[in-house]
Amino acid sequence: MSKQQAIRKTSDERVFDAIVYAIAAVIIIIVLYPLLFIVSASFSDPAKVLNGEVWLLPKGVSLEAYTNILQNDKIWTGYRNTIVYTVVGTLINIIMTILAAYPLSRPDLPGRGAIMVLITLTMFLGGGLIPTYLLVKDLGMVNTMWALIVPGAIATYNLIVMRTYFQTSIPWELQEAAHMDGCSNWRLLFSVILPLSKPILAVMVLFYAVGHWNSYFSALIYIRDEALHPLQLVLREILMISQSAAVEGGSVGLEDQILLAESIKFAVIIVSTLPVLIMYPFVQRHFVKGVMIGSIKG
C-alpha cells in the first residue's frame, strides 16, 4: 500500500517536473526568438528579409547593413553624444546618490527622519511634465546636455537602495571605531564605506548608465539641435520612418530612405544595444542582491 503510494507520488512528481521544464522551455523560446531573429536578419540580404525568407538563420549572408551604418554620419554623431551623456551623467548620478545616501544612512544624523520624508514624498508627488519642462527651460538648459543630466541627477529609488545597503551591510562598529581614531566623515566615506560597497556601486552604475543609454524622451523635449541628438533619437528616426511612411503613404523622395532604413534597421538595433549587453554579464550576479536590498522597507 505505502509502496504503491510512494510510486504514484514519484510519477506525479515526474509529470510535474516535466511540465515545469516544458513551460520554462517555451518561455526561453519566446524571449530569445525575437532577439535571435534580429541578429540573423542583420546579417542577411535585406531583400530576403523583406520577402519573409529569414526564419531563424541568416539567409544570403552579407555585411552590407553594417558597412552602411559605418558610413552614416548621423549614427556616429548619435553614438558619440550618447557616450558623452552616459559617462558624464552616470558620474554625476553616482556622486549625487552617494552624497545623499551616506549621511542619510547615519543613525546619528539629526533631522534624518524629516529629510527622508521630504525625499520619499517626491516618489508620489510631482509637478508633472509641463512645470518641469518650464523649469528646465527657465534654467537655460534647453538644447544643452545638462537638460538630459541634471534634472535626473538622483533616482530616489536608487538612493533608498544605496542608503539601505550602507545601513545593513557595513557594520556600524566599524564606523564608530574609525570615528574614535579621529577619522573625518569624508575620509570614512572614501576609505571605509566605498571600498566595502563595490557590489552596490556596480549595480547602480549599470542602472544609471543603461538609463542614460536608452533614454530618448528628455532629448526629444529638450534637444533641438541635431548635432546634439543622442543615439536613441537617431534610431527613432531610422526605425520609425518606414512605419510612418507606410501608414501615411510614402512620397517618392521617401522611397530611397525607406529602403536604406529597411536594410540597416536590424544592424542598427544590434549596434545600439550591444554596449549594454556587453556590460550586462559583469554586474548580472549582483542583481538579486541589489533588488532585494531595495525591497527592504525603511
The footprint of another protein on residues 56-95 (CB under 8 A) is none
Stretch that binds another protein, among 61-69, 71-79, 83-91, 281-289 (CB under 8 A): 281-289
Under the binding rule (CB under 8 A), the answer on residue 10 touching another protein is no
**Three-state SS string across 182-214, please?**
CCCHHHHHHHHHHHHHHHHHHHHHHHHHHHHHH
Reference 97, options 167, 178, 7, 201; nearest CA is 201
Under the binding rule (CB under 8 A), the answer on residue 6 touching another protein is no
Under the binding rule (CB under 8 A), the answer on residue 249 touching another protein is no
Residue 145 neighbours by CB distance under 10 Å: 18
Under the binding rule (CB under 8 A), the answer on residue 155 touching another protein is no
Smallest separation (angstroms) from another protein to the CB of 264: 11
Stretch that binds another protein, among 51-59, 66-74, 196-204, 251-259 (CB under 8 A): 51-59
| Given 70, 190, 217, 282, the residue binding another protein (CB under 8 A) | 217
| Count of alpha carbons within 13 angstroms of residue 85, beta-carbon side | 29
| Given 10, 172, 226, 255, the residue binding another protein (CB under 8 A) | 172
Smallest separation (angstroms) from another protein to the CB of 59: 13
| Given 155, 239, 254, 259, the residue binding another protein (CB under 8 A) | 239
Smallest separation (angstroms) from another protein to the CB of 99: 5
Is the distance from CB of 202 to CB of 283 less than 8 angstroms? yes
Under the binding rule (CB under 8 A), the answer on residue 292 touching another protein is yes
Please provide residue 209's backbone torsions phi and psi, each rounded to the nearest 5 degrees: -65, -45
Under the binding rule (CB under 8 A), the answer on residue 176 touching another protein is yes
Q: What are the helix and strand counts (H, E) for the chain?
A: 15, 0
Question: Toward another protein, which CB reaches closer, 66 or 287?
Answer: 287
Residues constituting the chain: 298
DSSP character string of 61-110: ---HHHHHHHT-HHHHHHHHHHHHHHHHHHHHHHHHHHHHHHHHH-TT-T
Stretch that binds another protein, among 68-76, 122-130, 195-203, 249-257 (CB under 8 A): 122-130
Smallest separation (angstroms) from another protein to the CB of 274: 11
